[in-house]
Amino acid sequence: MTTVTVHCPRCDPDDVYRQDFSPTKHERLRCQSCRRVFQLNYTYQAWKPGLKEHIVDMTFNGAGVGDTARTLKVGINTVIPTLKISRPRG
Ligand SMILES: [Zn+2]
């Protein structure tokens, strides 16, 4: 039997416990420190935490919208609104 240590994606301690299952049968976990619920696997890759920052980083490094969508396995309609929202003001 193997043991997998799961860390909270927001505050990083490993004191998490199983909350329940999502309607799509993915396991949901709750962190005891920050009391937030998160999943390890998502049905849609666009729901993963940190994906928006990854899209902005790839754009700053010269990747196009299509390149970013193919690499991250999300739709173009996820990439374009993310870039419109993260546009600097001024
Ligand atoms: Zn936490």
> Distance, CA 10 to ligand 1 centroid (Å)?
5
Residues 60-90 as b/e (b if ≥16 CB within 10 A, e otherwise) read: eeebebeebbeebebeeebbeebeeeeeeee
Task: Identify the pLDDT of residue 89.
Answer: 66
* Ligand 1: centre distance to CA 61 (Å): 30
Span 39-76, pLDDT tens digits = 988 888 888 888 999 999 999 999 999 999 999 999 99
Query: What is the distance in A from the centroid of ligand 1 to the CA of 3?
Result: 20
Please report the pLDDT score of residue 90 as a whole number.
Answer: 61
Distance CA 29, CA 37 (A): 6
24 C-alpha vs ligand 1 centroid, how far in Å?
Answer: 23
Residue 50: predicted pLDDT: 86
